[in-house]
Structure 1
């Protein structure tokens, strides 16, 4: 196959207008490990590290339901200083937590295990992750690398390239953690605008894949509300109640003032036709689309 015939999953997804809503993987915890050399296709699991330490971290991550991502600074590789690691997440009250450390020897990574059980610090600036895992998917490098470099010129201390985050066809993908917000289908210009808005706590429906603290149909419901009523802060809308029925979900979205107090959303799952969804995908597969079929504010009783 020649270069002109080469398949790029992000180009194909854009030409098909694949929906973004409801495609953020569920999760509330992240482990970030700085690794400046080349990343194996399977990320942390493929690194040539001390087997005992690696198994210890993997087991602790699984127990905490935390996702491990490799990170590095955009641009030229820097060789000085120690590599960093971080544990990020939420507490029971929704507070955003971060704990950072450094590692030089493999067994230094064992510090991650007790960090997963400690509270961490609050009030730190979020971390902006740009997927640039080219060995996993070509589009993540082609679109992710320039996006990460552009963002790092504005937010140098907050931006990292990261390994595979899911949804290669939406490259470049940006994940803001520990907020747990996925963005996709961007370019350099829109990425800067989206992050500017995010930092001002104005999240728009455009380019939003979802919040990782919600299940896919709930993500689709909140994105539909943002699309209809305008941008809002990360925590301005919450899920009041989700009811599964024969065809899909009835989801109640609760808003803080000045946003609508209650919005009822109907969401139906639809299986998309089989397609090649990644650059390196050996076969076609089907993704699920979460289609919003109804959105309205409930009518208040006149007797209230």
Structure 2
């Protein structure tokens, strides 16, 4: 429970009306390493592992554009079993790939580097990752754990708590991988609704931070189209071009039915007023945000 006068970044961001569209951390894949905790502030990078193991895994992940997350199941887990690891790879065709393995000794983690170079299996259900990294930011634990509990009750095999995914002030944060879809500022019920819709093949703009394969301005433009014309499938919107002039972006999107065939989103980026953006931030800072200037649909592309 938050004590009177105790600062919480997520509550402050909500009060300010911080915009979250366009804030998903970019990645082409994820390495998951099951670790019961406690998780250090820096996650995998600060685990007490042999330096050579750290180097092999980090170098392979960075070379492939992947992020490393520590994960654990929600609630108490039976002891005596090997921990799991996974390589989740985003694919622009929608044929997302996964490979899973197990480890009990540090040296076993070197298997991950080889797995990153393999294609992996398709057709597996998506993984729901809920940030509950309280050492990194209290809001992630306070708001993330109830969401992890709710998703775990609905989809126990696919739900994991995870270490820092970025955007503490948008807690609770949910990353669906390998789909690469970020949701933020969700309650348990909202998380179930958003994840359930995605599992059915659609993405809505509500609580969408963005798609991890896109740049921030492109993420924002996609969310704008989904908000006006969606929901739509994860791969129903493709970025044809993104052009910047000064503080303006024009993002041209090609869309599948029933969305308009073509949409041009003009947006402006700006620095928000200085604020404390995380619970542990030592000083105020300014974040970039986006706002819509215009949305244009050519008459001959309307459906």
* Paired position in structure 1 for 2:162: 162
* Paired position in structure 2 for 1:80: 80
* Paired position in structure 1 for 2:140: 140
Distance in 2 (alpha carbons) for counterparts of 1:207 and 1:94? 22
Deviations 1:138-195 (A, max 9, x none): 0000000111011100000000000000000000000000000000011111111111
Normalised TM-score (structure 1): 0.96
Closer/same/farther in 2, CA of residues 139 and 31 from structure 1, 3 Å limit: same
Q: Give the conservation status (yes or no) of the 8 Å contact 1:36–1:78.
A: no
* Paired position in structure 1 for 2:222: 222
Q: Which runs of 5+ in 2 are unaligned?
A: none
Q: Give the conservation status (yes or no) of the 8 Å contact 2:28–2:64.
A: no
Deviations 1:112-136 (A, max 9, x none): 0011111000000000000000000
Distance in 2 (alpha carbons) for counterparts of 1:165 and 1:188? 18
Count matched residues: 300
Distance in 2 (alpha carbons) for counterparts of 1:27 and 1:298? 32
Q: Which runs of 5+ in 1 are unaligned?
A: none
SS at structure 2 position matched to 1:169: helix
Are 2:262 and 1:241 equivalent residues in the alignment?
no
Q: Could you tell me how far 1:93 is from its partner in structure 2?
A: 4.4
**Alignment map for 1:49-198 (pairs within 5 Å):** 49-91=49-91, 93-198=93-198
Distance in 1 (alpha carbons) for counterparts of 2:125 and 2:150? 19
> Structure 1 stretch 247-256 or stretch 66-75: which is displaced more?
247-256
Q: Could you tell me how far 1:239 is from its partner in structure 2?
A: 0.7
SS at structure 1 position matched to 2:4: helix
Deviations 1:184-212 (A, max 9, x none): 01111111111111111121111000000
* Paired position in structure 2 for 1:27: 27
Superposition misfits of 4+ residues, deviation over 4 angstroms? 91-94
Closer/same/farther in 2, CA of residues 279 and 231 from structure 1, 3 Å limit: same
* Paired position in structure 2 for 1:288: 288
Distance in 2 (alpha carbons) for counterparts of 1:116 and 1:209? 26
